[in-house]
Amino acid sequence: MNDRIDAAASACVAFSQGDFRPVAPEGRTDVRRILDERRIDLVKQNGRLVNQLHALLRELFPGGMEREFDTEDAARQLEAFLLGTTADAMRKNVALDIVGYLRRTRFEIEDITTRIKTELAASGTTPLKIPGVGTVTAARILARTGDPTQFSNEAAFANYSGTAPVEIVSADELGYPHRRSHTGQNAEQRRICLSPAKMAEGKISREAMRCLKRQVAKRLWRTICADTERQRSAALTA
């Protein structure tokens, strides 16, 4: 009974202070989130399988194999491997099983990436037009942002995405007046910033990266808001 009272009291306080989020029916944001989470799981699974296969290959082949080995090349070498002991026979069988799991996992990754592309194309969203924003990055940012109108302004979105500067007390001593937030979509926006930087083959200072990510957040905010407004207008006139 106390839990219900506490929950009701918390909800009343949040509502009175404007610190609440309206409950809305599930929609495209939820679809993107489901697809993105599944893809993340598959990519992690792929990494685990690669590590397992690499460990077995080190035990089977003299000198092992390079860390960035080609899976299909490893499969061919395994097929041609001459067995020495019963333990090696088991290693070979397990390694070939892992190769099969890797093939299926990578097929699933490609399949779900295609589904993400289809979802983005169907929604008519435009973050993909921003340089450095790829299919997976766009879907992840949109899934984690949801309805952009939940943020009062662009600065609030930057704070949520982890690109707003955070002042530090020892700024004068360190020479850096701000540090970046470690929350939100910082990693995705860092990838966007690094795309043109890699083409230029130049290094980016910490302060320059912070400014770049702030500009990326600003453009993302404006793009997502414009898309949302356009989609709502289309729904009203339909």
Greatest CA span in the chain, whole angstroms?
75
pLDDT at 84: 83
pLDDT at 177: 47
Other CB atoms closer than 10 Å to residue 4's CB: what's the count? 8
Element (H, E) at 167: strand 165-167
Closest by alpha carbon to 157, among 228, 231, 224?
Answer: 224
pLDDT digits (tens, 9 = 90+) for 48-91: 999 999 999 989 987 766 767 788 888 998 998 888 899 999 99
pLDDT at 195: 59
Q: How confident is the model at residue 173 (pLDDT cuts 50, 70, 90)?
A: very low
Distance CA(182)–CA(220), nearest Å, equals 19
Q: State the DSSP code for 9.
A: H
When the pLDDT of each residue in the chain is averaged and rounded to a whole number, the result is: 78
Whether 203 shows a pLDDT value over 80: the answer reads no
pLDDT at 3: 59
Instruction: Report domain extents, the chain.
Output: 24-123, 125-229
pLDDT at 234: 80
Q: How confident is the model at residue 170 (pLDDT cuts 50, 70, 90)?
A: very low
Whether 188 shows a pLDDT value over 90: the answer reads no
Burial class (CB in 10 A: 0-12, 13-18, 19+), 238: exposed
Instruction: State both tokens at 88.
Output: 């090696």
Distance CA(5)–CA(12), nearest Å, equals 11
pLDDT at 237: 81
Report long-range pairs for 110-116 (Cβ below 8 Å, ≥24 apart): 112/35, 112/38, 112/39, 112/42, 113/39, 115/35, 116/32, 116/35, 116/36, 116/39
Helix 86-123 with 28-60: angle, nearest 10 deg: 160
pLDDT at 165: 61
pTM of the model: 0.71
Q: Do the Cβ atoms of 172 and 118 come closer than 8 Å?
A: no
User: Pick the residue with more confidence: 204 or 58?
Assistant: 58
- Return the residue matching tokens 């704070």: 159
pLDDT digits (tens, 9 = 90+) for 88-138: 999 999 999 999 999 999 999 999 999 999 999 988 888 888 888 889 988
Closest by alpha carbon to 192, among 132, 129, 126?
Answer: 132
Whether 185 shows a pLDDT value over 70: the answer reads no
Whether 182 shows a pLDDT value over 50: the answer reads no
